[in-house]
Amino acid sequence: MARFLVRSLISTFVTMFLVSVLLWVLLEVATGDVAVKLLGVFSTPEQRASYRAQLGLDAPSWQRYLDWLVGSDWRAESQVGFPLVTATNQITGERVWWADVDGTPTQWRLEEGELLTLQLQPDGTVATTAAEVGWSRDEAGAEFFWGVNEDGSAVKWVRGQGAEVWVLTKGGLRKEGDGPQQYIPLRKGLLRGDGGKSLQTGRAVSVTLFPRLRNSVILAAVAFAVVMPLALLLGIVAGVNEGRAIDRTISIVGLTLTATPEFVTGIFLILIFGIWLKWVPAVAIFTSPNAIFENPSLLILPVLTLTAVELGYVARMTRASMVEVMDTPYIRTAIIKGMPRGRVIFRHAVRNALLAPITIIMLHVNWLIGGLVVVEVIFGYPGLGQYIYDAAIFGDPNAIEAAAMILVIVAVGTRLVGDFAYTLLNPRIRYA
């Protein structure tokens, strides 16, 4: 057992690491210029370069990967010279970075060539004063200052060089002069629970991701709760009646359901129940993230769609396993011992027959996630699947990476659960 746990733990971390690197490389190689996507095709190269610098995208790829993994405050701290701390913004729930100047959380802002100090007061308000800090001088004689700005980046301000930057504001791009020359976007890194900010929305991934995850978990859990008992039951019924009409029916229907893509099933369900029968709303509009709690009927069609595909698969797996078990010598023994049929099936066969499907079903969770993406897109369901879809289409690295990490944990976790259940059901391993 110890070996099993240690191995699976190591395997989980190795897997997550490999996946994150792989995705990173893929996104690096493939994604187009994010600045173009955000600033539009009519932006000038200077504007784009400036914007990329603000996002820290001008750093080398390995540097950004490390920042993403273990955080950037380490290297920023040595520049700024003050300890860097975070405080949570009460309104957005996001993390805000401050430099800890003698116990006071401090940020800086350059306005009209003058450096201002923003100090976080104990009551949550921010006091703005003129900065008293001295500028440092580099070899070339330029005066510069490393501090933390309001966007949560460590910034190198250089005085008097008239360097211009382009800042994206609500009103569009605005040119600011005399400004920051180097940025290190501050983050704690994934290992310390910070997934970074979404490039697309500018909001912290951790804040936006979890409500989506919750919605998807509800959807998947309900589907799972519907599928499992039903599929196992159908599989057992078919397996016990191998070759009879009921077996053929269950097998063929199961196969057809499995072989039909989710979008086809979903569309047919909408057609039948939404448009022709009008039993459920054909178009589900999710007005708020909590819509499914207010109107659970919104779940019906997505759940049915997911169920259809999984049902056939699991039922067929169970059937195959049941057929195999019913053919074993120990079932023959039970029958020759004069055990009633029900007892043979439920006491002797089912437990052994469930061994094979359980591991396979758990490995099948990826398939379910694939289905989730499609189902959420069809029904406009605000879940993880749609989040991934949007992030992938945009090429939003932090969002994709964060979602992928969650998916890996789900996949590895379910595999572990499957292995564990297998061990529980199989005394040959339990008492090895």
Partner 1 sequence: MAAIQPTPETPLGPVATAGGPSRGRRLWSSLSIIFESRIATVGFLMVMFWIVIGLLSLVWTPFPPNESRFVQNLPPNTTNLLGTDNLGRDTLSRLMVGTQVVLLKTRVPVGDRTISLPIGVAIWGVLGSLTLGTFLGQIAGYRGGRWDQTIMQLLDAFVAFPSIVLYLVVIAALGRGDLVVIFAIAITGAPGVARLARSLTLDISTRDYVRAAETRGESQWYVMFREILPNARGPLLVDAMLRVGYAIFAIGTLGFLGLGLPPPDPDWGSMVNEARRFMFSTAWGVIWPSLAISSLVVGLSLLADGLREELNRYQR
Partner 2 sequence: MIASPTTGPRMPVLKVENLAVAYKIRGGEVEAIQNVSFEIARGETFGVVGESGCGKSTTAWAVVNFLGANGYVKRGSIKFQGQELLGKSGEELRQLRGDQIAMVYQDPMQSLNPSMRLGDQMKEVLTVHRGVSDAEATRRCVEMLDRVYMPDPAAVLRRYPHQISGGQQQRVVIAMALLNNPALLIMDEPTTALDVTVEAAVLDLIAELRRDFDTAIMFISHNLGVIARICNRVGVMYAGELVERATVQELFADPQHPYTQGLIRCLPRLGADKAGSVLYPIRGRVPPPSNRPAGCVFSPRCDYVQERCRLERPELRQLPNGTFVRCHFAEVIDPAAWIPSADVRLIPPPAGNGAGAPILEVQGLKKYYPLQGSSLRDVVGLGEQRFVQALEDASFTVHKGQTLGIVGESGCGKSTLVKTIIGLESSSGGRAEFLGLDITGDLSDRNTELIRELQMVFQNPDATMNPSYTVGYQIARPMERFGTVPKGQIRAEVLRLLEAVRLGENYYNRLPRQLSGGEKQRVGIARALASRPDLVLCDEPVSALDVSVQAALLNLLLEVQQEYGTTMVFIAHDLSVVRYFSDQVAVMYLGQVVDIGPAEAIYAPPYHPYTEALLSAVPIPDPAAQQRRIRLEGTVPSAIDPPSGCRFHTRCPRRALLPDGGRICEMEVPPWREAGNGHRILCHIPLETLRDLPPVITVSP
**Is 334 near partner 2 (CB under 8 A)?**
yes
91 phi, psi to nearest 5 deg: -85, -50
Residues 15-44, one symbol each (x = binds partner 1 by CB under 8 A, - = not), give x--xx--xx--xx-xxx-------------
* Total of residues contacting partner 1 (CB under 8 A): 48
* Total of residues contacting partner 2 (CB under 8 A): 31
For residue 270, the partner it binds in partner 2, partner 1, none, with Cβ less than 5 to 8 A by kind, is partner 1
Q: Would you say 339 or 407 has its CB closer to partner 2? A: 339
Q: Least distance from C-beta 307 to partner 1, angstroms?
A: 17
Q: Would you say 210 or 346 has its CB closer to partner 2? A: 346
Question: For the chain, first and last CA: distance in Å?
Answer: 10
Long-range contacts of 51-58 (CB under 8 A, 24+ apart): 51/166, 51/168, 53/165, 53/182, 53/183, 54/151, 54/153, 54/165, 54/167, 54/183, 55/183, 55/185, 55/199, 56/153, 56/183, 56/184, 56/185
Residues 233-252, one symbol each (x = binds partner 2 by CB under 8 A, - = not), give ----------x---------
Listed in sequence order, the residues at least 6 apart from 265 whose beta carbon sits closer than 8 Å to its beta carbon are 257, 305, 308, 309
| Residue 204 DSSP one-character state | B
Q: Rule CB under 8 A: which of 230-289 touch partner 1?
A: 255-256, 258-264, 267-268, 270-271, 275, 282
The answer to whether 394 and 37 have CB atoms below 8 angstroms apart is yes
Q: What angle do CA 160, 163, 164 make, to 5 degrees?
A: 135
Which candidate, 352, 253, 350, places its Cα nearest to that of 311?
253
Q: In the structure encoding, which two tokens stand for residue 168, read together?
A: 């994206």
Choose one: 185-193, 269-277, 343-351, 407-415; the region binding partner 2 (CB under 8 A): 343-351
The residue written with tokens 């490039």 in the block is 199
Q: Applying CB under 8 A, which residues contact partner 1?
A: 11, 14-15, 18-19, 22-23, 26-27, 29-31, 255-256, 258-264, 267-268, 270-271, 275, 282, 363, 366, 369-370, 373-374, 377, 388-389, 392-395, 400, 403-404, 407-408, 411-412, 415
Q: Applying CB under 8 A, which residues contact partner 2?
A: 1-3, 6-7, 243, 328-340, 343, 347-348, 351-352, 355, 425-428, 431-432
